[in-house]
């Protein structure tokens, strides 16, 4: 079973300004984007931020195909959300919701493209250092984030491969028919991951 679509992107070595920027500065940038989106009165602000991030990511080497790989899996959800909000709250609110989701998909892709995963996880562990005060382990939180980043693309990829297999047999993809094999594949992946962690001393 393949690892699945590259939903979040992956690090690509480079010499761009974003590649050379320290992780803390990227974190500050994400906070600024988040605050701007939260305080924005309407969709033009997240739309403008998305345009700026697309330009910055492209300058850092993110290609059109990579943008598409990150956004394409979200399109069905975006369409459903758009239709729902158009019908219930109006086109303006629909545009605001969609632009907000897209800006964070784009900023995630830029961050993952320009930041090595070990460096990113070290940052997560550092941010979680205060949880030691309540008995939690920042290293385990970092491990959980790492597993999440690897598991979600696998699950999506598993469903996609099952759907393609059903189509290859001349059948229409049916969510009900896909549930059982998708769950079996996901559980098997989780068991393999658990065994690998146990072999490395994690309980």
Residues across the chain: 203
Q: What is the pLDDT of residues 14-27, one digit of tens each?
A: 899 999 999 999 99
* Interhelix angle 75-88/91-114, nearest 10 degrees: 150
pTM above 0.85, yes or no: no
Nearest partner of 73 among 145, 6, 11, judged by Cα: 6
Residue 5 has pLDDT above 60, yes or no: no
Q: What is the pLDDT of residues 55-108, one digit of tens each?
A: 999 999 999 988 888 888 788 888 888 999 999 989 998 999 999 999 998 998
Helix locations, 90-203, DSSP H? 91-114, 117-127, 138-168, 175-199
CA distance 85 to 155: 28
Nearest partner of 60 among 120, 24, 112, 102, judged by Cα: 112
Higher pLDDT, 86 or 173: 86
3-state secondary structure labels for all residues of 22-41: CHHHHHHHHHHHHHHHHHCC
Nearest partner of 4 among 163, 113, 118, 140, judged by Cα: 163
* Whole-number Cα distances in Å, 26 to 22, 106, 178: 7, 14, 39
User: If you average pLDDT over every residue of the chain, what do you get?
Assistant: 81
């Amino acid at each position: 079973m393949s690892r699945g679509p590259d939903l979040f992107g992956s690090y690509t070595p480079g010499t761009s300004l974003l590649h050379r920027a320290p992780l803390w500065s990227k974190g500050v940038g994400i906070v600024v984007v988040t605050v701007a989106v939260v305080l924005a009165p309407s969709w033009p602000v997240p739309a403008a931020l998305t345009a700026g991030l697309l330009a910055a990511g492209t300058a850092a080497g993110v290609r059109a195909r990579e943008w598409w790989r990150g956004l394409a899996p979200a399109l069905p959800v975006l369409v459903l959300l758009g239709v729902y909000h158009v019908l219930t709250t109006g086109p303006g609110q629909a545009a605001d919701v969609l632009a907000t989701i897209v800006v964070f998909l784009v900023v995630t892709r830029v961050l993952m493209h320009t930041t090595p995963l070990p460096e990113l996880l070290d940052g997560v562990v550092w941010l979680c250092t205060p949880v030691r005060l309540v008995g939690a382990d920042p290293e385990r939180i970092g491990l959980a984030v790492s597993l999440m980043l690897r598991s979600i693309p696998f699950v999506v990829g598993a469903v996609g491969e099952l759907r393609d297999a059903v189509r290859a047999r001349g059948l229409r993809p049916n969510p009900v028919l896909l549930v059982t094999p998708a769950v079996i594949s996901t559980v098997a992946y989780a068991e393999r991951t658990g065994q690998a962690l146990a072999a490395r001393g994690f309980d």
